[in-house]
Amino acid sequence: MRLVADLGRERVVALVRTIISARRESILANKNGSANIRNGTSREELLSELSNELAALGRAEMNSGVRRVINATGVVIHTNLGRAPLSEKAVKAMTDAAGNSTIEYDIEKGGRGARGPRAVSLLKSLTGAEDALVVNNCAAAALLTLSVFAQGREVIVSRGELVEIGGDFRIPDVLARSGAVLREVGTTNRTHLRDYEDAINDRTAMILKVHPSNYRITGFTKTPATSELTALAHESGLLFYEDAGSGALIDLSPYGIKGEPVIHDIVEAGADVVSFSGDKLLGGPQAGILAGKTDVINKLRKDPFYRALRVDKTITAALEATLAAYSAGEPLDELPALRMLSRSPAEIRKRSENFVTGLSARMGDVPNLRADLSDGISAVGGGASPDASIGTTLIELQDSELSEAQLEMELRLAEIPVIARIESGRVILDLRTVGESEEAELIEILAGIGQRA
Ligand SMILES: *Cc1c(COP(=O)(O)O)cnc(C)c1O
């Protein structure tokens, strides 16, 4: 039995016991038995019901593991689906580093070395910062920075930037947990330089600027430029820290991704330290990157908290390979997230047309499944550029026998799960987020669903 091979004998026995005892209890609870032992329920029927239950439980258990999926949602940096897909080189680097590797060993000297110095030097050259440090994620980067530099002291933040980024990252909570005291200034839509100026006192440690990420205030708005805030901070002997969030290393506005600050510009504007994620617009592994002035980064590196937040050898290797794509000048081709974001609507249209042609050829006559093309919009996701408009082509699926919810579920429970979305009664696939090498697999999965007896 396949289940035994997948889950191990003991686990399957435990599941069988769970099912049998649940059935026993429900039989006992229904003394007249109508719901569970219907008149005429044969031993065979009962066994087959229980074996279906076992299969479903076993499947759910296997599906609860981390599995590869095909992301057909059109959301490029999908937090539930693992954000940025890694480049081939990053995956190889991770695999190579997985055994023993030089994470803290200096080959040239033949002894202990710094931790991941190449990632740091790549980060320095790509951001223009004097030094850099890599931790587990951007939340860790913010927590570390605030606790090292602002514990027991005040941090000035604009009311327009007290944001929540995906459920559990809320700026006021992170500040509180790090021991810093939030000093909010300005209003939701407008904060002036003088608001910051007026709030400075002898308990102030820093000015914090937070990228609003997944939301935008539009209309009658104002917020000082980073350069104005760094100038004010430095005149007053304060630190300036910007949490940039998604972390674009290059300008992505030509691809419809607007309002994402480029890290190099923030450093150039005088920020003492800036933090951003590795797995959002940067297109690499989950990591939180801190780039900034030598003395600031050094102090963070020496703090015991850093030791608890640092990243492992495989992440360091993947990050190095990802950053190397930028320094080689090839990020749009090499990094899947940037490749997906930068493909023109016309390219996606062409791919979608070829895909539908390939699908019809594979399915032959009397297909249950119909695929039509329509114009639509892809999303960046990952807390970036909520108003970006990236034109795309949608593949709308309709099955003559399955409802849209059933069809969506068939896709989700396929051998390689396909994650689609439902929009106005149709199951929708957006090839922008499907790898070119995944198209053939996707056609097989769809043909399997469309041709069932
Ligand atoms: C996404 C984001 C974070 C959290 O980053 P993680 O890498 O998910 O921990 C923090 N701050 C901002 C501004 C963000 O956009």
In which band, very low, low, confident or very high, does the pLDDT at 417 lie, cut at 50, 70 and 90? very high
Beta carbon of 277 within 6 Å of any ligand 1 atom: yes
> Would you call 99 exposed, middle or buried from its count of C-beta atoms within 10 A (0-12, 13-18, 19+)?
exposed
Strands 154-158 and 418-419, how do they pair?
A: unpaired
**350 CA to middle of ligand 1, Å?**
35
DSSP secondary structure letters along 129-151? -SEEEEES-HHHHHHHHHHHHHT
Q: Locate the ligand 1 atom nearest the alpha carbon of residue 246 and give its number.
A: 15
Give the β-pairing of 273-277 and 239-245. parallel
Q: Which DSSP string do the residues of 312-372 spell out, in sequence order?
A: -HHHHHHHHHHHHHHHTT-HHHHSHHHHHHHS-HHHHHHHHHHHHHHHHHHH-SS-SEEEE
Helices (H) and strands (E) in the chain, counts: 18, 18
Alpha-carbon Rg for the chain, nearest whole angstrom, is: 27
Q: How far apart are CA 153 and CA 147, in angstroms?
A: 10
243 lines ligand 1 (CB under 6 A): yes
Q: Is the CB of 211 under 6 A from ligand 1?
A: yes
- Token pair 């430029």 is found at 225
Separation of CA 174 and ligand 1 centre (Å): 11
* pLDDT for 173: 95
Please choose from 213, 214, 241 the residue to mutate so as to test ligand 1's pocket, defined by most ligand atoms within 8 A of CB: 213
CA-closest residue to ligand 1 atom 15: 245
Question: What's the whole-number mean pLDDT along residues 222-228?
Answer: 95
Q: Whose CA is nearest to atom 14 of ligand 1?
A: 245
Distance CA 121, CA 3 (A): 48
Residue located nearest, by CA, to atom 12 of ligand 1: 245
Ligand 1 nearest atom to the CA of residue 383, by list position: 15
In the chain, the percentage of residues whose pLDDT exceeds 70 is: 97
pLDDT tens digits for 105-131? 999 999 999 999 999 999 999 999 999
Distance 220 CA to ligand 1 centre (A): 26
Ligand 1 atom with least separation from CA of 139: 9
Comparing C-alpha atoms, which of 221, 222, 226, 230 is closest to residue 262? 226
* Any ligand 1 atom below 6 A from CB of 288: yes
Span of 32-41, 94-103, 422-431 with lowest mean pLDDT: 32-41
Supply φ then ψ for residue 381, to 5 degrees: 75, -170
Parallel/antiparallel/unpaired status of strands 421-423 and 369-381 = unpaired
CA pair distance 95, 93, nearest whole angstrom? 5
* Longest CA pairwise span in the chain (Å): 87
Q: From the CB of 314, is ligand 1 less than 6 Å away?
A: no
Query: Is 275 a pocket residue for ligand 1 (Cβ < 6 Å)?
Result: no
pLDDT of amino acid 219? 87
CA of 244 to the centre of ligand 1 (A): 8
The predicted-structure confidence for 136-164, as pLDDT tens digits, reads as follows: 999 999 999 999 999 999 999 999 999 99
- Cα–Cα distance for residue pair 211/277, rounded to 1 Å: 12
Q: How far is the CA of 288 from the centre of ligand 1 (A)?
A: 8
**Residues shown for the chain:** 453
Centre of ligand 1 from the C-alpha of residue 211, in Å: 9
Q: Please tell me whether residue 84 adopts helix, strand or coil conformation.
A: coil
CA of 442 to the centre of ligand 1 (A): 32
Instruction: Work out the pLDDT band at 232, boundaries 50, 70, 90.
Output: very high
